[in-house]
Amino acid sequence: MALALAVALVGGPAVPALGQMVRGHLRDVRTNETIADGLVSLVRCGGERVASVLTGADGAYRLAAPAAGCFLLEARRIGYQTWIDGPVELHAGDDRETEVRLRALPVPLPPLEVAGAPPPPDAFLAGVGFYERQRSDFGHFITREQIQARAPQRVTDLLAGIPGVRVVPGTSGLDRAGIELDGSLLSHGGRCHPRVFVDGIMVIRGDARPRGLDVSGLPAATEAALPGAERPEMELDDLVQPEDIQAVEVYRRGSEVPVRFGGTSTSTQCGVVVIWTRRGRDEKP
């Protein structure tokens, strides 16, 4: 876009004692407000800068040419497009008045990056090994910040959308929902209900094997002795509300499950979901 400007050169009476003068005001072409701290220069037509001055708060400038001759008038200011006018022939004793208007020009700046320290780890989650397992890159991990961002109404809403997770009707009624994982239990078509732990306690056994059988399918006291082993099965959405959850771990098949939650065995072929509830950040497990 062509630079908008208005320049008026008015020949004044000859004042030889003052020499050749150029005076005027520097203004914004859009707002007509005066521009302070603009640099206005008088340049010989051959390229030599003979006088420069910064405009005052009122945008005024006053330049004296050392002798008569051919000159250019240049005005510049950070944030404005540079303006050059002329050539102007100054005669001995000329006193010229000008009005210079500059067009605002945005100045590109490098992007500003603000670095902040990450939030301190939750003491409870650190104590139960959540962050260590998260760094191992096995399974899917959901933090409190992600839960708040999604604002789920139910636990199954929180887990929906994770690759390999499918929300299905619950077993206790049509108003309840459960989940199935892409597990490795072929007898269930590869999709089955996972085992669920809340704060390290098994609360849902899942579909991997009948109650009370060991990895060989024989009766075993080891699993029956686990906390929650004899507790009646519950629906996932009945266990805890999303606002009470601090973090979730989802292991979709037995090969991903940490030893703490059963490792790779027939009891974890449908996968494992681990829920950690909220508590004070400094509370130890």
> Can you give the residue ranges of every domain in the chain?
10-102, 123-277
Predicted pLDDT at 32: 92
Reported residue count of the chain is 285
Predicted pLDDT at 117: 67
CATH code of domain 10-102: 2.60.40.1120
Structure token digits, residue 173: 């009624």
The number of beta carbons lying within 10 Å of the beta carbon of residue 228 is 15
Predicted pLDDT at 217: 44
Burial of 61 (0-12, 13-18, 19+ CB in 10 A): buried
Mean pLDDT of each 10-residue bin along the chain, 285 residues long? 38 51 92 94 89 93 91 92 88 89 83 74 91 90 93 91 83 67 68 90 82 48 47 76 95 90 88 88 51
Burial of 83 (0-12, 13-18, 19+ CB in 10 A): buried
Q: Residue 71 and residue 87: Cα distance in Å, rounded? A: 5
CATH pick for 123-277 out of 2.170.130.10, 2.40.33.10, 3.40.50.300, 1.10.10.10: 2.170.130.10
Give CA separation, 158 vs 81, 90, 104, 181, 215, in Å. Answer: 54, 80, 51, 14, 31
Ramachandran angles phi, psi of 107, nearest 5°: -100, 115
CA dihedral angle for residue 14, residue 18, residue 21, residue 23, rounded to 10 degrees: -100
Contact 152, 275 (CB under 8 A): no
Predicted pLDDT at 10: 39
Give CA separation, 225 vs 208, 231, 236, 275, in Å. Answer: 18, 11, 22, 21
pTM: 0.52
